[in-house]
Copies of this chain bind each other. A is one copy, B any other.
Amino acid sequence: MDYPKRKLIMLPGPTNVPDRVMDAMIKPMINHRGETFTTLLKEVTEKSKHLFQTTESPLILSASGTGGVEAAVWNIVRPGDKVVVPVYGEFGSRLSEAVELAGGEAIRVTSEFGTVPSLDAVTEAIRRTANLKAVYLVHNETSTGCTVPYVEELGKVAAERGAFYVVDAISSLGGYAIPVDKWGVDVCVTGSQKCLAAPPGLSLLSMSKKAAEYVRKDPPRVRYFDLGRQLDFLAHGETPFTPAISLYYALDVALDMLIEEGLEKRVERHSRLAGRFYSVLDAMGLKAFADPRFRSNTVIAGLYPDGLDDKLFRKRMNEEHDIVIGAGFGAMKSKMFRIGNMGEVSTAHVNRTAAAMALTLTKSGHQVDLERLAAVLDASS
């Protein structure tokens, strides 16, 4: 195929990948049963501890985020197990289905899309469920641009009942901090291609002592996703199956960049730039889809003005400005756009996206007050 043109990837994953991370992929091929890979695996594992803020060893699977989430389900949920799942978008819905496919009983706590279920409602569901096995939470709904603000608090409620607490933080970890040890998260899952700004193809899972013990005792029937086996092999510096070596090289450098910047500063940067994005929407007369209380710092979901054609808008952004933004999801497919505010995102990325949107909206007949937009961009840090 033709060599693709480099665009500004403002998607909710994959994101722009820094050259330094990209270039790591072409390091020499090595034996995955040799010392060099063991060194690489150990370093990536150690560095991942910073991401999850854990003293336990996280696991890395050669599968994209969905694979990681399914591994987190199949290793814990057994037929008949009762599992509480807050559902406030597509990915929560998929998670609850995965629980059912594994034979579990998913007790859904729903809320209107654009909001998140209240902590009270989830707590009530947890407390009224006898023999609760686990609580599975999507931290950040990529489909609606909403984030749950009570990850820590929910951990306490799950712990009260002795339930496993699993958090899908695919599109948030690194842009948000989830200190898994402190907050009592047994398994936290994320993907390489979101806030870590590495290429897609790997998922990362933190494992609490309790989760590590459990998965070793009762392995799942899908061996590729057998986390106990992964832990056993990790103990002697290997993976059970051939790993995607080139993607490990990239992840290693992406984690270096996370550590060099510092997780706290990285989270602050995501938060600051998200604020800038929401101000931009507001200045252009566009509404964010999410209730202001739950607006995501990593996925900016905005509503089109009435009558604006989604496909044409994104096509113009892409072809005339070399900027790729995401479409809506499910029922919101043609009414919503989604912008990824993830990874190496910078002030210039926001400005460039804002400028292109202002022009494209104007071209599409939606009036933009450019002075107001400029003032907002000046005022926001």
Contacts and interface: CB of A to CB of B under 8 A. Distances in A.
Interface of A: 1, 3-7, 9, 11, 13-17, 22-23, 25-34, 36, 39-40, 43, 62-67, 70, 74, 94, 97-98, 101-103, 191, 193, 199-201, 221-225, 240-247, 250, 252, 318, 324, 326-327
Nearest to A15: B29
A248 to B, nearest CB: 9
B65 A200 contact: no
A101 B221 CA distance: 5
A40 B1 contact: yes
Contact of A4 (B28, B43, B94): B28
Given A65-B241, A201-B246, 19 more contacts: A1-B36, A13-B242, A22-B25, A22-B29, A25-B25, A31-B324, A33-B326, A34-B324, A62-B62, A63-B67, A64-B243, A64-B244, A65-B242, A66-B224, A101-B221, A101-B223, A103-B221, A200-B246, A201-B201
A15 B242 CA distance: 12
B1 A242 contact: no
Given A31-B9, A40-B1, A223-B101, A64 B247 contact: no
Given A14-B245, A242-B64, A246-B199, A30 B1 contact: no
Please report whether the interface of chain A is mostly helix, strand, loop or mixed according to DSSP. Answer: loop
A13 B16 CA distance: 31
A30 to B, nearest CB: 6
Contacts of A74: 222
User: Lowest 10 A-B CB distances belong to which pairs?
Assistant: A201-B244, A6-B28, A66-B241, A101-B221, A199-B246, A64-B242, A67-B224, A25-B25, A200-B242, A22-B26
A25 B241 contact: no
A330 B244 CA distance: 23
11 contacts: A1-B39, A1-B252, A7-B28, A9-B31, A13-B242, A17-B29, A63-B224, A66-B240, A66-B242, A201-B245, A246-B246
A65 B223 CA distance: 12
Nearest to A220: B101
Contacts of A65: 241-242
Instruction: Specify how many copies of this chain sit in the oligomer.
Output: 2
Contacts of A64: 62, 241-244
Contacts of A242: 13-14, 64-66, 191, 193, 200
Contacts of A11: 31
Contacts of A318: 34
Nearest to A28: B6
Nearest to A245: B200
Nearest to A202: B244
A222 B34 contact: no
Nearest to A9: B29
A327 to B, nearest CB: 7
Given A102-B221, A242-B65, A244-B199, A7 B25 contact: no
Contacts of A199: 25, 29, 244-246
Contacts of A243: 64, 200-201
Nearest to A25: B25
A191 to B, nearest CB: 7
Contacts of A33: 326-327
Given A74-B222, A200-B243, A244-B244, A5 B34 contact: no
A66 B223 contact: yes
Contacts of A27: 3-4
